[in-house]
A = this chain, B = another copy of it.
Amino acid sequence: MGKKIVIVGGVAAGPKAACRVKRILPDADVTVIDQDNLISYGGCGIPYYVSGDVADEKELRSTSFHMLRDEFFFAKAKGVKTLTSTRALMIDRGRKTVLVEDLPSGKQNEISYDTLLLATGSRPVILPIPGNEADGVFTISDLHKAVAIKERLARGEVGKAVVIGGGAIGIEMAEALTDLWGIETAIVEYMDQLLPRIIDWPLAAILEKHLRDHNVEIYLGEAAEEIVVTDGRAVAVRTGKRTLDADLVIMAAGVRPRSELAREAGLLVSERGGIIVNSRMQTSDPNIFAAGDCVEIPHLVSGKGFVAPFGSMANKEGRVAADNMAGIPSTFKGGVGSFILKAFELSIGSVGLSLETARAEGFEAEFSLSSPSDRAHFYPGQDIVCLELIFDRKTRKVLGLQGTGPMNDALSARIDAAAVAISSGATIDDFGNIEMAYSPPFSTAIDPINAAAYIADNLCAGRMRQIGMEDFFAWMAEPSIHPDWQVVDVRHAKQAAPFVERFGSGLWASLPYEQVRDRYRELSTEKTLIVFCNAGSRSFEIQVFLDYAGLKNNLVLPGGFNVIRRIGADWLPVS
């Protein structure tokens, strides 16, 4: 036998690295240790297992050719030894050993390594609130919990559920509970929007409406303060504002790297708890590598470290770690946080920094919001995507892209293309020329990603001036805060009519797009004109013309009615 390689962690990065090492060094002695008895599973599939889309948990730990990835499989097919139900207790870096405990027997022994890989993953945050350990409170952290949840659902024990946390897992679980099981589900989120820090308000608001339309209750800006327990069993979640009945509580308040083993061994660990690695995935001990949810990687936009707990990243990092453990100098440069989520019939995704985050990071960040068709507008089945491009005014670098779309791959295609571009430091000019493959059944001649960049270019050049969607909503909710604002609705007169009727032409004027050049003199020269259309593009054209005509006191509402109706508001006329 050759080099002795020990890997702690058997879910994603660990097995990936183990198998890759064996393919490079077939004579290596590779051992994977995991405290669980179930290993090498697709944790991201848990919500789909709970929902019933995936019938059996075994499917989450099977190969695409339907073999169960268990100890037998790793031994027979991969030549990798696995020690399951075995916990790594301590690393002795001097002697290059790991002290492990066989959990069923409690027996401890030492395993020696030439090279060690830590793929210890992450653990869900358990909020330090009363009742957090009651029966019926679950995190989504492993297959056993998933099975336990599904069993409760199948037994009909759950009528109401509360999900604590409006991040990706919380939303996926809310869909799983509501959609197939018909459970009354509420999401409680401490921040004042869903997917905080990942996406900005307009898109979060679209998601929120979509979830509400699918009978998910949403409570934002409310902390879960207590899980009310009766006879040891969770019966409700109390926030500062209300008490929500719950037979089942899903705690989905984020994850933290599992890095105690590394820290206790004296390896460098970041403030966020991520194990520090170089681009070869090597920790501060050259004989110890780390990969997956437990490490911190460079964010290619912010330049700072971040933790990217995605199975996809774990696989990439695990492969690079394996290469280096086997003597191949591969590198992993970092990530841009590519993210995609299904929520009922909506897809929502992002990459790079949100506007809010970019500004907090000190960028001179600005946004372009648009709502184009996902494929040729004349092609059957086309739908609208809402895209926000975040860019730096000073450097013209694109900092992020986020959006919502129908439940197909149109949005993820744009996120993916943007991820490649952002990773290489692309500017808005580069984005304007991204060559998305065009054919009417797939895309538009001016692709949404190009159009978003064009808007950014116009904003940078000062040709376009806009107001934010939040400001518009705040004004519509309380028009008196800006008595000098007036909407100029350049859509077809019929589309504008219900708004003019509801708000009066002093607040909502109709002047169709193709008539502006003839009739612009009818517009107020006193008011700030908010130019309004379906997507924002006609509004921009009108802005350019009005500026030229001397009516410079005007602003475009980017994204327009397409975005507004997806966010919804009680002030909207019923159409």
Contact = CB atoms under 8 A, between A and B. Distances in A.
Interface of A: 12, 16, 19, 22-24, 26-27, 42, 44-45, 48, 53-54, 59-60, 62-65, 67, 73, 76-79, 168, 310-316, 319, 328, 330-333, 335-342, 347, 349, 351, 372-373, 376-380, 407-410, 412-417, 419-421, 423-424, 426, 429, 432-443, 445-447, 450, 454, 458, 461, 463, 491-492, 513-515, 517-518, 533-535, 538, 540-541, 544-545, 547-548
A534 B67 CA distance: 13
A52 B402 CA distance: 35
A48 B377 CA distance: 12
**Interface-centre pick from A23, A331, A378 (highest chain B CB count, 10 A):** A378
Contacts of A351: 435, 437
B533 A440 contact: no
Contacts of A379: 45, 48, 53-54
A310 B443 CA distance: 12
Nearest to A458: B23
Given A65-B538, A413-B416, A534-B65, A378 B440 contact: no
Contact of A42 (B59, B378, B441): B378
Contacts of A336: 435
Contact of A67 (B310, B332, B514): B514
B77 A330 contact: no
> Copies of this chain, how many?
2
B76 A443 contact: no
A73 B517 CA distance: 12
A548 B27 contact: yes
Contact of A437 (B410, B419, B463): B419
Given A26-B544, A53-B380, A445-B315, A436 B419 contact: yes
B340 A439 contact: yes
A59 B23 contact: no
A65 B378 CA distance: 11
Given A26-B548, A415-B437, 8 more contacts: A62-B378, A63-B377, A64-B377, A65-B533, A79-B545, A342-B439, A351-B435, A408-B409
A329 B58 CA distance: 58
Nearest to A311: B445
A531 to B, nearest CB: 14
A151 B310 CA distance: 54
Nearest to A72: B514
20 contacts: A42-B440, A45-B376, A48-B440, A65-B533, A65-B534, A67-B514, A314-B445, A328-B461, A333-B433, A335-B435, A340-B439, A340-B443, A341-B439, A342-B441, A408-B409, A412-B413, A412-B436, A415-B437, A423-B435, A424-B424
Contacts of A547: 26
A58 B106 CA distance: 77
Which residue, of A445, A446, A450, A463, has the highest number of chain B Cβ atoms within 10 A? A445
8 nearest CB pairs, A to B: A413-B413, A409-B409, A26-B548, A312-B438, A340-B437, A338-B437, A64-B377, A420-B420
